Structure formats: C-alpha cells, structure tokens
A and B are shown apart, each in its own frame.
Chain A
C-alpha cells in the first residue's frame, strides 16, 4: 500500500518545491519590471551585513573586516575613454611636430 502511494508523494513533494521556488521568485518582484528588480537588489544588499553578523555570532567566528577598497570601475573606465579620445585627437598634430623636428635634426646633421 505504501509502495503505491510513494511515487505520488514524491511527485507531490517535487511539485511543491518547484512551485514554491517559482512563487518566491514571482513574489519578490524578480520577474517584474526593471524598477522592481533593482528594488529587490537594494533590499538584498541592505540585508546582507546583518545576516553575516548573525551567522558569525552563531558560529562564534570573527571574519576580518573587509578593507574599504576605494576603486571605482566607472571612474577608471571614464578616465580611460577620455585619455584615449584626447590622445587620438592630438595624434596628427604631434606626429607632424615630431616629423618636422626629425627633419630639422637630420638637416642640422648634414649641414
């Protein structure tokens, strides 16, 4: 009798777990518009440090504090773009200057 119900119970459990996962994803706005998604991301970010604190207290360990990294990829990218474009725009002028200087030097040598 139990052997007959077991596959049904297994299927029911699997469906419950999958349905629960889908419901959680839908309810926390992960599948909605862009603003809902960024809201959820903000909430998750805000909730991580207290959660880590709780876990650390539970395990009795102490994570070394993360050093504050003052690195902004956006700033680096923007300054890189600016440097590239400015050097590209100055390149013809600089090239002609260097060629004229080189020619002058060679002329001086041959005088």
Chain B
C-alpha cells in the first residue's frame, strides 16, 4: 500500500468517524427525547455505537489491501 493510498484511507477513516459519531449523537438525542424520558444514556449509546461502526469500517478498509478478494480467486 503506497503512502498516498494509506493517507487517503486514514482521511476516509476520520471523516467516516466524525459522520457516524454525529449520526449516532443525533439518533440518540431523538430516541432519548421520544422514548427514554430525556435520560443521557441513549445519547452516549448512540455516539458510542457510531464510533464503533466507524472503527469497524476503518479496520476493514485498512485490512482489505492484504486480504484475498472473491473476484481474485483463481479456479
């Protein structure tokens, strides 16, 4: 993986993390206000879940260079 590719992957990871954190935060706020009587825990749960999704995406992305993909499998 060249340096440029790696840099781009990290950029994507950070942007993705920010987006998923914000989305989780928003959904957590909506759920907290609507269903959970304005407690704080849905908000932290949502943002944590967002960060976790971003982490998993980033891990997959960084590993994909070293994995064998289905399209490259030879008969």
Contacts and interface: CB of A to CB of B under 8 A. Distances in A.
B12 A14 contact: no
Contact of B31 (A18, A30, A33, A34): A18
B48 to A, nearest CB: 14
Contacts of A41: 15, 18-19
A8 B69 CA distance: 50
B58 A17 contact: no
Nearest to B35: A14
B67 to A, nearest CB: 15
Nearest to B53: A31
Nearest to B9: A34
B30 A37 contact: no
B61 to A, nearest CB: 6
Interface of B: 12-13, 15-16, 18-20, 23, 26-27, 30-31, 34-35, 53-54, 57-58, 61
Q: Which 6 pairs show the lowest CB-CB distances between chains A and B? A: A34-B16, A37-B16, A34-B12, A37-B19, A14-B34, A30-B23
Contact of A40 (B19, B30, B34): B19
A91 interface: no
Interface residues of A, number: 15
Given A30-B20, A31-B20, A34-B57, A21 B27 contact: yes
A31 B53 CA distance: 8
A34 B20 CA distance: 10
A37 B15 contact: yes
19 contacts: A14-B35, A18-B35, A21-B27, A21-B30, A22-B27, A30-B19, A30-B23, A31-B20, A31-B23, A31-B53, A33-B16, A33-B57, A34-B13, A34-B57, A35-B12, A37-B19, A37-B20, A38-B15, A41-B15
